[in-house]
Amino acid sequence: MSIPDATIASPSAFVEQMVGELSLQPDLLDWEQYWRDVGSDVSASVDRAGTPHVRMFDALGHRIDEIVYPPDYWHLLGEGYRRGHIWRAFDEGSPMPFLLMGYVTSFFDPGLFCPYTVSMATAVAVGKYGDAALKSQVLPALLRADANAWQGATWMTEAAGGSDLGAAVSTVARLNANGQWRLTGDKHFCSNAGADVAVVAARPEGAPAGVRGLALFLVPRMRADGTLNVTLRRLKDKIATRSVPTGEIELRDAEAWLLGSADVGVYLILETLNLSRVANAFGAVALLQRAVAEATAFGRARVAFERPIADHPLLAAELDSRAMSLRRAFALAWEAARRLEEVWQERPRYSKRYHEFRLVAHLAKYWTAECAIEATRWAVEVFGGAGTLAENRVERWVREAMILAIWEGTPHRQMLDGLEVALRHGAHEPLIDSFRDVAAARDVDAWRQRWRDHLAQPSDAREATITPIFRDFATFVAEAALARLESA
């Protein structure tokens, strides 16, 4: 199925072509129009201005750690909360509104989807694992349908790194005599650093080493007495995503609430990450669409050898190939979202279908980010020398794409976690079988055997050779998911 130019240039129109008209469609169109009328100019201004700065003290010398952006930025961010980036998911009992609004947002500014994503992850964690008192205090503020909604964040990573949380997390949680938890430690890569509340990984005093000793806590920005509960050491000067402030956070006897049970904390941490990974996949596909849209428009307008370069056979073939890659990537992200919708309220111990979702989430996060990187690099090539200029925007999409491959775990992390869920839970087998209705029987049987052979290897060999099977399996799942969408 071809993609008309008008559809490739519109995130909401493309979604409709892929999955049919949705009840949210008018709101997606309206949100897209807002971006065209207002949001894009604000986003471009923020990107060109560079890293925001921190106002550490007010006029009277009180520590406030306020992140300073242009006022229009806060209006843009608040508009997304008002329109339902977060509250719609809870009203409708589905993460789909959050993901679909995020798709439109990411077509124009992938970085801005990050504050909404970590706010969503925070709200879900509080809604599932907070006690009644905490939920009544925090959840209504996170789900406000206006620009004053509280923002959330997920602060896991410390200076030692993010992949090996069991060894890297040194933040300590202590239970004081009044039964209140207090956290002390430093978080190194904190997206949405000015959030009102954050879910934080920490190790309760006396807990065992490794990931099994970690617990998940909710930490407010302000203490009960109105003073700062967390302090912001500095903001990171990143290569892109300037629309989300990333900083280093200091916790010094910070007030906190335990979420869920401490003995299953690692599972709750992974829940927040896996939700964000699906969001990352939607952001990557939207950015891929933006790259194809920019290249298509430029190719129609740029004339070389007496005709538009998009009409030359080589570029025409490449445009068709990129459009097909976009369709496959969207289908894979949609498969992850569909499976998330089925399990997002599950708690430990998880069902088999939850582990299938985990595997698809790892595949989608990895593969869509790689597709986005390749597509944005290619878009610069289509523009030629003009593609390196900030005025043409495509150089920004390259910078944005590089971050999407890192957020919520590098490609290696996705591969290793996908390998773990296949080895421990056999999630690959029911996933493969679920596509028997749209994939050739010989392909299904071949994939079952390929995984069986791979998992039979010694541990080091399984890890060393995971890249080709994970890449090829992601392609298989993407193509099968697209076949299912096309047959619906």
Vertex 212 angle, CA 209 and 216, to 5°: 105
Please state, in angstroms and rounded to a whole number, the distance separating the CA atoms of residues 3 and 18: 10
Residues of the chain with pLDDT under 70: 1
Q: Do 18 and 331 touch, CB atoms closer than 8 A? A: yes
pTM to 2 decimals?
A: 0.97
Q: Within a 10 A sphere around the Cβ of 472, how many other Cβ atoms?
A: 12
Model pLDDT for residues 353-363, shown as the tens digit of each residue: 999 999 999 99
- Give the fold, CATH level 3, of 266-487: Butyryl-CoA Dehydrogenase, subunit A; domain 3 (1.20.140)
Q: Is 139 exposed, middle or buried (0-12, 13-18, 19+ CB in 10 A)?
A: middle
Q: What is the pLDDT of residue 314?
A: 97
Model pLDDT for residues 219-237, shown as the tens digit of each residue: 999 999 999 999 999 999 9
Dihedral-angle region of residue 158 (phi above 0 means left; psi in -120 to 50 means alpha; beta otherwise): beta
- Give the fold, CATH level 3, of 154-263: Butyryl-CoA Dehydrogenase, subunit A; domain 2 (2.40.110)
Please state, in angstroms and rounded to a whole number, the distance separating the CA atoms of residues 105 and 111: 9
Q: What is the pLDDT of residue 1?
A: 61
Please state, in angstroms and rounded to a whole number, the distance separating the CA atoms of residues 20 and 25: 9
Vertex 12 angle, CA 435 and 144, to 5°: 100
Please state, in angstroms and rounded to a whole number, the distance separating the CA atoms of residues 67 and 418: 37
Q: Write the secondary structure of 220-273 as one string of H (helix), E (strand) and C (coil).
A: ECECCCCCECEEEEEECCCCCCCCCCEEEEEEEEEEEEEECCHHHHHHHHHHHH
Task: Quickly tell me which residue has 């995130």 as its tokens.
Answer: 11
Please state, in angstroms and rounded to a whole number, the distance separating the CA atoms of residues 52 and 236: 9
The domain spans of the chain are 5-142, 154-263, 266-487
Vertex 120 angle, CA 259 and 109, to 5°: 145
Rg (CA), the chain: 23
Q: What is the pLDDT of residue 241?
A: 86
Q: Is 1 exposed, middle or buried (0-12, 13-18, 19+ CB in 10 A)?
A: exposed
Reference 200, options 175, 217, 181, 177; nearest CA is 217
Q: Report residue 363 as tokens.
A: 């595949």
Q: Report residue 190 as tokens.
A: 């904190």
